[in-house]
Amino acid sequence: MDSKISYEDLDWSILWQNAREKKSWTAKGPADWDKKAPSFAKRNSDSPFVELVLRHIPFDKKTTVLDAGSGPGTLTLPLAPKVRSVTAIDYSKGMLDLLASQAKKQGSNNITTVLGSWEDDWKRLNISKHDICIASRSLSVANLQAALRKLDEYANKYVFIVDRINPTPFDNGAFKALNRPFRSGPDYIYTINTLYSMNIHPCVNIINLKKTASFSSMTAALESYSWMFKDLTAAEERKLEKYILDNSTTGTNGEIIVTRSSPSRWALIWWKKN
């Protein structure tokens, strides 16, 4: 290795790709998220995560918001009554269908859903510029720099990104219990440095959540933990269930409360457009 290498010699696009190739988890596709939509929405609907993120976003009744990788509307739905409009983009039809259903229930008629991905041409999807662009926990993409440029391009005032801090959202203790290596893959520090290389200098707020995770049942807990792994064997499933049992208690309402190896932490990365 060149002992005189400096920061300017680093290519963060290559480093991002290298870290993605080494990660010990597999990125999920639209069909996977279609199946995950109901349980994902239920777990996030009453999470303190939403309020902790929204408190940092400067919106009012005149604000237009673009939510890229909206999922089932974790941020779109609570934002809708407080802003002029929200455009929610996601590549999972199941997620968007669930979002639309919930929007109807809460009486929000200012939400537009768009089936599309980061790689799509957003102009062809009739996406226009918005005051604020949000990408919350949705930047597990092949080309990070292209996605960041797209967010910056489509924002008139602000961009807000929620990115994970290793090992979030994974429980590395579960990997150890299964004797599997845990490699996080790229987290928020890659995003910050990629932005720096693009001459964008963001602000960062750290969002700390509890070390525990609640599930409606052992079945729900096992399903959520199984999501972290690829090609679980029957023996590994038994080990995983034992890990959950050994690290959980039963709540007053019968829910399963699992104590993770480390608390969930997220980075809120944002910048104001010039």
pLDDT digits (tens, 9 = 90+) for 207-235: 999 899 888 889 989 988 988 888 899 99
Q: Report the pLDDT averaged over residues 97-105.
A: 94
Tell me the mean pLDDT in the region 168-175.
92
Report residue 98 as tokens: 């669930």
190 pLDDT higher than 90: yes
- Give every CB contact of residue 4 below 8 A, 6+ residues apart in sequence: none
Best CA proximity match to 65, nearest among 44, 89, 83: 83
Domain boundaries, the chain: 7-210+263-272
Q: What is the CATH number of domain 7-210+263-272?
A: 3.40.50.150
| Token code pair at residue 135 | 């990408």
Region for residue 107 given its phi and psi (left: phi exceeds 0; alpha: psi -120 to 50; beta: otherwise): left
Higher pLDDT, 45 or 240: 240
CA distances from 205 to 72, 161, 242 (A): 24, 10, 36
pTM comes to: 0.90
Integer Cα distance of 75 and 84 in angstroms: 15
Angstrom CA distances, 60 to 39, 64, 163, 222, stand at 31, 9, 24, 40
